[in-house]
Structure 1
């Protein structure tokens, strides 16, 4: 049974006004957004009209359209911040309208959390994905939490936002398809089958859309995952007998310490092991894929060791303190194409985000446990809020599980949607009178994980604190 918050804790108009104020404040403090390295690359494509598929081209194409409204990152920044706070505002007002004003305020507090907001003000595909998915789910929640069917127009709008989400981030399929399937009223078996088929279809169709609809040329990005996995397998098995890498390439990887559980970047860096990447670019993708499959088949233990090590890093579980690529950037990538930095007020936000990123709030592993706890607690509950919580939790968990197989870097921004979705799911489930057993088990699991991660940060020697330091 759902419980209401304290009377007067926050009415719908107050929550809506607060969301609008936070949106305006974000735009004012962080204008015109932060343009990181990826942003500069995509903006160059938007200006030139020449696109490749290293980053999904839908964002660069959209940027080219919005460029008519003004130069630089500002139009894209405006779009993603409006969608971000629109989605959170819809969630907050929908909860307040049902008597859960405190929950509505908590939703806005989640959005204002410096580590989440600090990354959201960067003009990146990860922030675009999170903003679009928040707006889509907020639209659905507006109607579902009131016990009403979602109108056709709202369904179409949410569907378009989810379609953009799945196109703007290559692994977003693992978040979007499970979310969409869980929002249906199908049976559990049908959801599982349709979800699995949907993921496969999207993975098959997305490259066609990127190349034939958006006109992106192939960049060789599809070789990055095989190369990283083959390097990991070679590192742990100490052999290249599967044919994926040449003997001298394995020797180079070991001599220059190019294999790192944190990311694949050293393998592509011309100063490190970039010659290996250059060679594989001349090899057909079929041959690369076959060598990749053989390496995994012949050395499954080495592959598992490699993937578990990387998963631990990207989930930021048993790692030293101050692992790089967690703090929101204080400024953007230097460039000559008109992408400028926000003012000093934004630096304060970024530094606050850097501090929060070192706490459990900035550890993806904590939010994975929270999402798992939501699933465990939801077994004894019913209702629209429970169904939405489960959809958000499954979206987060499937996305996080995908990193066990498909991931080549450990930046915190990759987990932005999963972390926010898990937080929203927890807020939704907090409205139910949950069984004491579920609270004890969920709370205990969370405490153990946080304790283990904290102990690791205290006990392990600090590693490199910068990107260049991680490269070696």
Structure 2
């Protein structure tokens, strides 16, 4: 293989990084971004948003104003990871696959969200950079040098801390990649134990090491699920809410499959949940467990309704929170708006995410199909890495069946990107015909039913305030 080829691929990745940085400069700020930057400026941190990201932002803030240091960080790690994967594929003779990897990075639904300075973009960047380092060596059938373990570990640790649910990505990814334990059941047990350990350690890091104040964010899942049960259980039954609280939840439409936000807004339903919010966290979750055991159908219906919403399957056309914003959240702390070119890119993204490319359910079907094809390739570096990517993608999606309170597309960015990269890694070998036929049929069924729902269901409110009501 001509050495110039991987160098050319890496040069293209560097050019794409530069172009992306110029496109989105100085970075798009959402509401969460403004809140975190406010913490950076004040030096007072809480755990509603990941304190790890705010602390990193504080360290990098002398390098530039506003959101720009974090924009550089997330775009640099994003293109570094993709560039390393594409480079090693080119080095091993897979030029078309190398081009496909770079094309994945340039897809508007992926790159568009990477222009928003947000924990989800930071997560994707950190994971891709770590993956890129692993692929650079392992796809060339070379052992990882010991010098790479520190940067990989730092990137994965940051990924775990930058989103509360990232443990369901990182642990399955690592456990699947490492050679020991080898048996699938042993890997499953190891993964479950590791998830519990990380869930126990992360709050200690956030509160003791990063000195973040407690915000009550731990209560949101329980409040959301209790309201969902109360809205679906027979009137007068014990649900953890009083009869007057249940009546308010139903009358004010507090239990939304789309998101939990009405329950946190005092002008809508926040006061209804005030009593429950004041309970100790352990008591609150015991209350939820009791309500779910007494009303399993109500709980399951609530979770399935939300899962359908967040997976964007049988939902109306223009289901909100799919596209990245075209402008920064209004603020007085120096977070500026992007250029007209960036706004045009995000409008293009808004159109594309209405297609199956922006439906997590479609990517889930692809991931299951690809995982079925990859299992027989456990001794092949491409197959092993693809399997790890798909396991991490599906593990996060499975977690949403129980742990999820909002339907934003950005929460699914890693599963979508991981599935796309894994599919390219597996493309050097044709999958079993039966797997391909079954997967393609399932994908067609999902797409046709999704299109039918979008035609039949009424258009939802297109504003945040409208979705609250």
TM-score, normalised with respect to structure 2? 0.97
Bigger drift between 184-193 and 34-43 goes to 184-193
Q: Does 1:107 align with 2:101?
A: yes
Are the equivalent residues in 1 in contact too, given 2:219–2:284 (CA < 8 A)? Answer: yes
Out of 424, 430, 435, the residue aligned to residue 433 of structure 1 is 430
Rounded Cα–Cα distance in structure 1 between residues aligned with 2:232 and 2:272: 18
Q: Does 1:376 align with 2:372?
A: yes
Residue of structure 2 equivalent to 1:391:
388
Are the equivalent residues in 2 in contact too, given 1:268–1:276 (CA < 8 A)? Answer: no
Equivalent residue runs for 1:323-342 within 5 Å: 323-342=319-338
Rounded Cα–Cα distance in structure 2 between residues aligned with 1:89 and 1:373: 26
Measure how far apart 1:182 and its partner are: 0.7
Rounded Cα–Cα distance in structure 2 between residues aligned with 1:396 and 1:326: 18
Rounded Cα–Cα distance in structure 2 between residues aligned with 1:49 and 1:15: 41
Out of 375, 397, 407, the residue aligned to residue 404 of structure 2 is 407
1:197-240 residue CA offsets vs partner (Å, 9 max, x unmatched): 00011111111111101111111111111010000000010446
Out of 11, 14, 25, the residue aligned to residue 31 of structure 1 is 25
Residue of structure 2 equivalent to 1:443:
440
Bigger drift between 415-424 and 250-259 goes to 250-259
Residues 251, 390 of structure 1: CA spacing in aligned structure 2 closer, same or farther, 3 A cutoff?
A: same
Out of 168, 184, 191, the residue aligned to residue 162 of structure 2 is 168
Rounded Cα–Cα distance in structure 2 between residues aligned with 1:157 and 1:299: 47
Are the equivalent residues in 2 in contact too, given 1:242–1:294 (CA < 8 A)? Answer: no
Measure how far apart 1:438 and its partner are: 2.0
Secondary structure of 2:428's partner? coil
Residue of structure 2 equivalent to 1:4:
none
Rounded Cα–Cα distance in structure 2 between residues aligned with 1:379 and 1:85: 28
Secondary structure of 2:174's partner? helix
Rounded Cα–Cα distance in structure 1 between residues aligned with 2:322 and 2:388: 26
Are the equivalent residues in 1 in contact too, given 2:33–2:117 (CA < 8 A)? Answer: yes
Measure how far apart 1:241 and its partner are: 4.1
Out of 354, 371, 383, the residue aligned to residue 358 of structure 1 is 354
Residue of structure 1 equivalent to 2:289:
293
Are the equivalent residues in 2 in contact too, given 1:375–1:393 (CA < 8 A)? Answer: yes
Residue of structure 1 equivalent to 2:177:
183
1:17-36 residue CA offsets vs partner (Å, 9 max, x unmatched): 11111100011111011110
Measure how far apart 1:379 and its partner are: 3.2
Rounded Cα–Cα distance in structure 2 between residues aligned with 1:51 and 1:278: 24
Are the equivalent residues in 2 in contact too, given 1:45–1:51 (CA < 8 A)? Answer: yes
1:389-443 residue CA offsets vs partner (Å, 9 max, x unmatched): 0000000000000000000000000001110000001111111132222221222
Rounded Cα–Cα distance in structure 2 between residues aligned with 1:143 and 1:276: 55
Equivalent residue runs for 1:250-329 within 5 Å: 250-329=246-325
Rounded Cα–Cα distance in structure 2 between residues aligned with 1:82 and 1:130: 11
Are the equivalent residues in 1 in contact too, given 2:230–2:239 (CA < 8 A)? Answer: no
Are the equivalent residues in 1 in contact too, given 2:367–2:394 (CA < 8 A)? Answer: yes
1:274-302 residue CA offsets vs partner (Å, 9 max, x unmatched): 11343333222222122111111111110
5+ residue gaps, structure 1: 1-6
Residue of structure 1 equivalent to 2:89:
95
Residue of structure 2 equivalent to 1:3:
none
Equivalent residue runs for 1:40-51 within 5 Å: 40-51=34-45
Rounded Cα–Cα distance in structure 2 between residues aligned with 1:240 and 1:124: 43
Secondary structure of 1:11's partner? helix
Residue of structure 1 equivalent to 2:238:
242
1:333-354 residue CA offsets vs partner (Å, 9 max, x unmatched): 1001111111101001101110
5+ residue gaps, structure 2: none
Q: Does 1:196 align with 2:184?
A: no
Out of 219, 224, 227, the residue aligned to residue 228 of structure 1 is 224
Rounded Cα–Cα distance in structure 1 between residues aligned with 2:35 and 2:235: 36
How many residues in Structure 1 have an aligned counterpart in Structure 2? 465
Rounded Cα–Cα distance in structure 2 between residues aligned with 1:264 and 1:319: 17
Rounded Cα–Cα distance in structure 2 between residues aligned with 1:256 and 1:433: 53
Rounded Cα–Cα distance in structure 2 between residues aligned with 1:11 and 1:457: 45
Rounded Cα–Cα distance in structure 1 between residues aligned with 2:48 and 2:13: 35
Residue of structure 2 equivalent to 1:68:
62
Rounded Cα–Cα distance in structure 2 between residues aligned with 1:336 and 1:240: 48
Measure how far apart 1:444 and its partner are: 1.7
Are the equivalent residues in 2 in contact too, given 1:234–1:240 (CA < 8 A)? Answer: no
Are the equivalent residues in 2 in contact too, given 1:34–1:332 (CA < 8 A)? Answer: yes
Bigger drift between 182-191 and 144-153 goes to 182-191
Rounded Cα–Cα distance in structure 2 between residues aligned with 1:11 and 1:402: 40
Rounded Cα–Cα distance in structure 2 between residues aligned with 1:434 and 1:411: 32
1:70-89 residue CA offsets vs partner (Å, 9 max, x unmatched): 22101111111100000110
Are the equivalent residues in 2 in contact too, given 1:140–1:155 (CA < 8 A)? Answer: no
